[in-house]
Structure 1
Amino acid sequence: MIKDAGDRPVLSSGLQIYDNINSAGIRPIVATDFRVVETLNIMGVRPIAANTFEILETVNWMGIRPITTSGLHIAETYYSAGERPVASNIIDDSPVLMGYLD
């Protein structure tokens, strides 16, 4: 158990840890086949990955944003500050989902 902001369970997994970052707590870096083609130096070094998804269309809302398909199940849609899809709480592949957070 981790006792940071309450009891949080730690589960075992088959993820291969490459390294750790000590930023806002110890954060593991998972080994991956993620291919970085460029970086941006905005609020730290931000990687830009090789394009691995098909872009269906783009919207120009606070910059050009790509729209692609996904297998994400949309539970409902909010119409506050634009149309915002809300996914269900059922997570099929949590490591992939957690990879989007940062």
Structure 2
Amino acid sequence: MQNKRPSMQARIAMCFCLSALFEAGNALADDAVVAVSTAPVQRALIAQPVRAYGIVAASAANLTSINLPYVVRVTQLRVQTGQPVKRGDPLFVVQADPA
């Protein structure tokens, strides 16, 4: 029967090879160069537009109720869905209900 265990010389050679590979890996990691630049924080407009999908709902704190002492009908809407508005822009026209 033959001895299937590696000889002492083979074991030493294997340890030497493994330690050489380990050291080569460490040397590569230490010599690695990464191109990184830093910059101070500043305020600026985002040049790249951001597109997102979702639902926008008004906050209950920002809703205003319009109460009139008589019945009215909305006869004309002056804005479209999604149109930007600002304070003071007329949104609709009402007319007293003839009933």
Q: TM-score, normalized by length of structure 2?
A: 0.20
Higher helix proportion, which one? Answer: 2
Larger radius of gyration: 2
Higher strand proportion, which one? Answer: 1
Q: TM-score, normalized by length of structure 1?
A: 0.19
